[in-house]
Structure 1
Amino acid sequence: MLGLLFLGISCKTGTEEANQVEKISGSDEMLIRISEIQIYQNYLTEYISILKEEAEASVRLEPGVISIFPMFQKEDSTEFRILEIYRNREAYESHLKTPHFKKYKTTTLDMVESLKLTDMVAIDEETMLDIFSKLNLEMAAQ
């Protein structure tokens, strides 16, 4: 099945691909990003505290923020990844102007060794709803 998906994608013309990318990345579409952040070891505890505070406030206070899900690599606790999902580009732009994001950005500036932001495209947004619903059910059962 996956092979058929790739075959179907590779058979599209350049114009068809451009139209699909434009449709997917339109201003009303979800904005999904993976942030890759390397933190200096001596700031680790402080950074985690600030990041947790910012992520919680973003999801709680901003209706357009679907997910700010921070995590770090098992093998290297200074390597962070954040799955960011916003309802649309407008929600993302609004997020950048919030007091909690500005506080996070300014207080962690010297803690960050490197930052890479990668925009992503969801393949199956409908399943995403199932994933979050399932997570809510699992948490409620505990």
Structure 2
Amino acid sequence: MNKQDERIIRIAELEIDSTQLAEYRTLLTEEIEASIAMEPGVLMLHAVAERERPERIRILEAYANRQDYEAHIRTSHFLKYKEGTAEMVKALRLVDVDPIALCAKTSHELG
């Protein structure tokens, strides 16, 4: 198994209580920023909302391997997010996916 095959790639599909959407987005942003800054094994976290239904959130997640994913869900910042948003999340579906092509420009390339 090569390093690429060890990666955990997942799409989290969430539906958020629309009356708590602003608070949810704040907690999610804090969690994502902390994960990227503090966890080398968290390779990517991209959160987006459907334009016509902003309560439908999708998160593309990438972890270096299973151990890094397991470590991530035990961090204090993830647990704060999970506990803080528990009453806001109306539905959650985790979809494991296989990468075909994952490409992004670096911040240096963006200017």
Q: Which residue of 2 aligns with 1:64?
A: 41
Counterpart CA distance in 2 for 1:69 and 1:57 is 13
How far residue 68 of structure 1 moved from its aligned partner, in angstroms, is 1.2
> Which of 1 and 2 has greater Rg?
1
Superposed CA offset, 1:45-73 (max 9, x none)? 00000000000000110000001111100
Counterpart CA distance in 2 for 1:121 and 1:29 is 11
Higher relative contact order (CA 8 A, sep 6+): 2
Q: Which is richer in strand?
A: 2
Superposed CA offset, 1:15-36 (max 9, x none)? xxxxxxxx69x9x610000000
5+ residue gaps, structure 2: none
Superposed CA offset, 1:106-132 (max 9, x none)? 0000000000000001124xxx3xx23
Please report the TM-score for the alignment, with normalisation by the length of structure 1.
Answer: 0.72
Counterpart CA distance in 1 for 2:44 and 2:100 is 17
Counterpart CA distance in 2 for 1:138 and 1:74 is 27
Q: Which is richer in helix?
A: 1
Question: In structure 1, the residue corresponding to 2:86 is in which secondary structure?
Answer: helix
Aligned-residue CA RMSD in angstroms? 1.8
Detail structure 1 runs of 4+ shifted over 6 Å in the superposition: none
Q: 1:136 aligns with which of 83, 99, 107?
A: 107
Counterpart CA distance in 1 for 2:66 and 2:100 is 18
Q: Which residue of 1 aligns with 2:6?
A: 29
How far residue 81 of structure 1 moved from its aligned partner, in angstroms, is 0.2
How far residue 93 of structure 1 moved from its aligned partner, in angstroms, is 0.2
Aligned pair count reads 110
Please report the TM-score for the alignment, with normalisation by the length of structure 2.
Answer: 0.92
Q: Percent identity?
A: 42
Matched, 1:89 2:66: yes
Q: 2:89 aligns with which of 91, 100, 112?
A: 112
Question: In structure 2, the residue corresponding to 1:110 is in which secondary structure?
Answer: coil
Counterpart CA distance in 1 for 2:54 and 2:41 is 29
Question: In structure 1, the residue corresponding to 2:6 is in which secondary structure?
Answer: coil
